[in-house]
Amino acid sequence: MAKKVFADAKSAIAGVQDGMTLILGGFGLCGIPENSILALKASGAKNLTCVSNNAGVDDGGLGLLLQTRQIRKMISSYVGENATFEKQYLAGELELEFCPQGTLAERMRAGGAGIPGFYTPTGVGTLVAEGKEVREFEGRKYILERAIKGDFAFVKAWKGDHFGNLVYRKTSRNFNPVAATAGKITVAEVEHLVAPGELDPDEVHTPGIYVQRIFQGVNYEKRIEQRTVRKEA
């Protein structure tokens, strides 16, 4: 189990190649695998398909990989904070598969559970349903959505131990748990890497069975995408 522990992000992402599908946890700039994204940028891997709730911002998150044009396709539910994304998409330089947020989470969860697909009413009668099988159950129409699996999955947790057990903190417990299950190789970066036995089993959100690599992250930045303040009276 100790072999799961890697020295840093660079060594933990080894094996990522051009054209791979990568699943990344996080919501906006909360709970994103910052160190792994920087290492991916430095690796130069290109033509990547990235599956993430969002595409980051221009100077943060997956926006860094968009700047270097390493991403060929995004599968996301929200991309409204990234001007670089907008320019590349409108210019036909970036493929986009929009997916409703709950459906995206369930596609990841299904991939990790070994379920090839599922039916959902979300998107029936819209562009989301184009080209997908439609079936009726108890008088209501549902569309078939396929599970998502990644060559790699990258997640970020608050704490993790040498076995790969993970604990997320507050809002970062969003897409990270489902993303962690859906990678052939799951890489976890943590704010605190602790010894086996230090985590309360009842507090573990992602069991170590899903995690193949783990490392202690550094230099985390607590950013706010859009700061809203109340005007003075």
**pLDDT tens-digit readout, 39-68:** 999 999 999 999 999 998 888 999 999 999
> Per the domain annotation, does 130 fall within a domain?
no
- Which sign does the torsion angle of CA 11, 14, 18, 22 carry? negative
> Per the domain annotation, does 109 fall within a domain?
yes
What is d(CA 22, CA 40) in angstroms, rounded to the nearest whole number?
10
> Per the domain annotation, does 58 fall within a domain?
yes
**pLDDT tens-digit readout, 74-127:** 999 988 778 999 999 999 999 999 999 999 999 999 999 999 999 999 999 999
> Per the domain annotation, does 35 fall within a domain?
yes
- pTM, two decimal places: 0.93
> Per the domain annotation, does 47 fall within a domain?
yes
Residue 160: which CATH number? 3.40.1080.10
Q: What is the largest CA-CA distance in the chain?
A: 58
> Per the domain annotation, does 227 fall within a domain?
no
Q: Between 56 and 147, whose confidence is greater?
A: 147
Q: Quick one: pLDDT band at residue 225, thresholds 50, 70, 90?
A: confident
**Burial group, residue 179, by CB count within 10 angstroms (0-12, 13-18, 19+):** buried
Look at residue 18 in the predicted model and tell me its pLDDT: 98
> Per the domain annotation, does 71 fall within a domain?
yes
- Over residues 69-73, the mean pLDDT reads 98
Look at residue 2 in the predicted model and tell me its pLDDT: 56
* Residue-range definition of the domain harbouring residue 41: 2-117+148-216
> Per the domain annotation, does 134 fall within a domain?
no
Q: Give how many domains the chain has, as a whole number.
A: 1
